[in-house]
Amino acid sequence: MGNNTPSGKLAGNPPHRPGSKVSVVCAPARVPSPHDIARERVVVVLAASALSFCACQSPPPVSYAWDVSPILEQKCVPCHTPPDGEGYRLSGLDMSGEGRIHPLVGTTRQTNPLSDPETEILELWVDQGARNN
């Protein structure tokens, strides 16, 4: 039959002779002690604390050199560079160096708009103090 298991032997049980009596001894159920219950409660509290700590962490700091500068170089500088940049001519904002937008300019025309993730990076950078890091 292809089964090499000797008669009377079940997987995980020791073999016994045919006709012999097999006795099975079951250990009584263990009742948890007050110490066990207290330990389980501490584990649950620590796990919940760790999860809440992870959820409350602030976002990692935004790096000007790694995160912000590439966005500005790709999306802003080409248009806001004197003398011919359209953004420079319309707003007076010179992004080839430190510049400020003219106070009378209220809207911008975006020929190369920022994506939502790029906008979020710039906003987070400003919220974190616009550090030159």
Is 51 a domain residue? Answer: no
Tell me the H-state helices in 11-85.
34-56, 69-75
What's the pLDDT score for residue 25? 65
DSSP state, residue 130: -
In terms of C-beta density within 10 A (0-12 exposed, 13-18 middle, 19 or more buried), how is residue 4 classed? exposed
| pLDDT in the model for residue 8 | 47
Asked if residue 50 is part of any domain, the answer here is: no
64 by DSSP, 3-state: which? helix
Residues of the chain short of pLDDT 50, as ranges, are: 5, 8-10
Query: Would you say residue 18 lies in a domain?
Result: no
Q: What is the pLDDT of residue 126?
A: 92
In a domain, 39, yes or no: no
- What pLDDT is attached to residue 29? 73
- pLDDT tens digits along 14-38: 565 666 666 666 667 778 788 777 7
User: How many domains, the chain?
Assistant: 1
Domain of residue 71: give its range.
64-127
